[in-house]
Amino acid sequence: MLYVKAPAKINLTLDVLHKRPDNYHEIEMIMTTVDLSDRIGLMGTAKGIHIQSADRFVPNDSRNLAYQAAQLIKDTFNIKTGVIISLDKKIPVAAGLAGGSSDAAATLKGLNKLWQLNLSLDELAELGAKIGSDVSFCVYGGTALAKGRGEIIQQLPTPPNCWVILAKPTIGVSTADVYGAFDVATAEHPNTQAMMQALEDGDYDAMCANLGNALESVTLKLYPEVAHIKDQMKKFGADAVLMSGSGPTVFGLVYQEARIPRIYNGLRGFCSEVYAVRLIGEREPLA
């Protein structure tokens, strides 16, 4: 069995610029990885693609992005043998943390090694773009500016070291509904350039000051539970708080480790899925 780590991501910024002729939205966002990871196990078999997971919310068929990644590799390179994909899930499902996309990226990287394809990260990221908008970023990992549909990746410096508190309410968010209610003209757009400068300077305070997510106001209106978590995380002492992706997970940045127990325990009082992790922010090597 070959094992590959699949880390979660958070959005330091997320901006939606306009709707494209292909009906996708043109986006511009800065993402970074955190130390909350799924573990993907890959084992060759005679034929077929088989998904194994103890998580009942994880589909075991072609709806699963890891399955799609394996199918894409098989079709593209005419691979006749099959694979068993074991998903040890730690990242919450449908949380705005790119868990499914990261699983797909890890599957691409793992199968590249298992089937001795010798593809580069760039080639794997190009394949990943065919699966989903966050998969290319997840192939590279680290910290990056993503543009287009998410497939145009520019590596950025690693953020200043800090803790990240993640809290996911027990609700699902419809990304389609969030984008459907989004209005480019009235949205509050983050300052992507200012965040890039903060990362360049290694300036923690500037990074906190320039967190921004254009989708956040829409999700907060549609799902008051997300707004409640954000308010409470601020109240308990996080330095800066933002929703990741289209939600529903909210994250807080915390520089002083001594503050973690109060924030973590306060959120656990009404939210079952709470995690205290570190930023990774550095690129993962090829499997």
Any catalytic annotation for residue 122? no
**Residue 12 assigned to a binding site:** no
**Residue 100 assigned to a binding site:** yes
**Residue 42 assigned to a binding site:** no
Q: How many other C-beta atoms lie within 10 A of the C-beta of residue 84?
A: 16
**Residue 99 assigned to a binding site:** yes
3-state DSSP helix/strand/coil percent for the chain, to nearest 5?
35, 30, 35
**Residue 125 assigned to a binding site:** no
**Burial of residue 25 (number of CB atoms within 10 Å: 0-12, 13-18, 19+):** middle
Kind of pairing between the strands at 163-168 and 82-88:
unpaired
Rounded Cα distance, 283 and 4, in Å: 14
* Residue among 38, 134, 168, 230 flagged as catalytic: 134
DSSP H stretches of helix in the chain = 65-77, 99-114, 121-128, 135-140, 175-181, 192-201, 204-209, 216-222, 224-236, 260-268
Q: What is the dihedral of CA 124, 130, 134, 136, to 10 degrees?
A: 20
Preceding amide of 248 cis, omega within 30: yes
**Residue 104 assigned to a binding site:** no
**Residue 237 assigned to a binding site:** no
* Residue among 5, 9, 89, 109 flagged as catalytic: 9
**Residue 102 assigned to a binding site:** yes
The answer to whether residues 223 and 248 touch, using CB atoms and an 8 Å cutoff, is yes
Rounded Cα distance, 184 and 188, in Å: 8
Any catalytic annotation for residue 134? yes
**Residue 176 assigned to a binding site:** no
Q: Which residues participate in catalysis according to the annotation?
A: 9, 134
Which residues carry a binding-site annotation for ATP? 92-102
Which residues carry a binding-site annotation? 92-102
